[in-house]
Structure 1
């Protein structure tokens, strides 16, 4: 049922736009009753939040570019590109709006942490010195997300690269 409801949300969003969505419309498309949707998700915003979290899940492992700085820079650039796109920003807003207890935000954070952990584990396996996951979250992901949400002007791949360079450069001191 969850898959069919999620598919209905994605299809209808493409067809009529997010602002036109209603629970009865989604339920009809998914082949369930509106009461089923309300029982499972509570309201439309919680459903949109659930769909957003699923859409924010990375589909592939981070690329291996042969060295930690290259891997982290490539990942940060891709993260920025995906999250700062109109669709990415809408998914982030939906994930946070329908999530009063913070569980969806925590899940989105866990997705990023898992990707970073894979990069750091690979670097350590190559014999490179690597920071811990939380340090990368604090010095790369957090500033990127802040800028995406609150100060998007002038946000570009060079900014993401500067964050990684500053993080890794500070470790060498």
Structure 2
């Protein structure tokens, strides 16, 4: 079980997490990643370094926790009226956010400080929740919607692969093409 899973939500624990996360974000923007240390974060957050080590283990796990929190979507996906439009808009926004230099840094941090895979799972769950919202809306409108996992496999997985390993030529048209090919194949008896 990771340290983050053992922490009780609310109260002092939530205040410590909020102040430490804020300190990390501020220091990253002010001094950069190379100058970041646990004692510097602790001083800014008003906690002891031992508090950070007890809760997060090391700087990389702290950066990972901050990254996962940053990658959490703020709002539900927009409703554009049909599955194709909703999924295309979401995929383009996802790509725009994740492929940015800040997005890539957060992805890297989320994965590097993730010894048990729970952060990767949480990031995946965020995307799955967003897609589930889109697919549920489509079903409620009477549209034939695929399941969440198949959509993740055909939209999110290739986007993440390209973001991480083949970013050249990655743009909104690529995201749109993935959606069109996926939904088009489904309409022709595929998936």
Give TM-score, length-normalised by structure 2. Answer: 0.90
Whether 2:18 is the aligned partner of 1:22: answer no
Q: CA deviation at 1:53?
A: 0.0
Residue 18 of structure 1 aligns to a residue whose secondary structure is coil
SS in 2 for 1:24: helix
Alignment correspondent of 1:132: 147
Q: Is 1:169 matched up with 2:190?
A: no
Question: Is 1:149 equivalent to 2:164 in the alignment?
Answer: yes
Structure 1: which 5+ residue stretches go unaligned? none
C-alpha distance in 1, partners of 2:83/2:167? 27
Aligned residue number for residue 12 of structure 1: 27
In the alignment, the residues of structure 2 paired with residue 115 and residue 18 of structure 1 have an alpha-carbon distance, to the nearest angstrom, of: 30
Aligned-pair CA distance for 1:60 = 0.7
State the aligned residue count.
173
1:91 equivalent among 99, 106, 119 = 106
TM-score scaled to structure 1, two decimals? 0.99
Runs of 4+ in 1 over 2 A off after TM superposition: none
Measure, in 1, the Cα distance between the counterparts of 2:85 and 2:67: 29
Mapped partners of 1:137, 1:53: distance in 2: 18
Structure 2 unaligned regions, length at least 5:
1-15
State how far apart, in whole Å, the 2-side matches of 1:77 and 1:170 are: 20
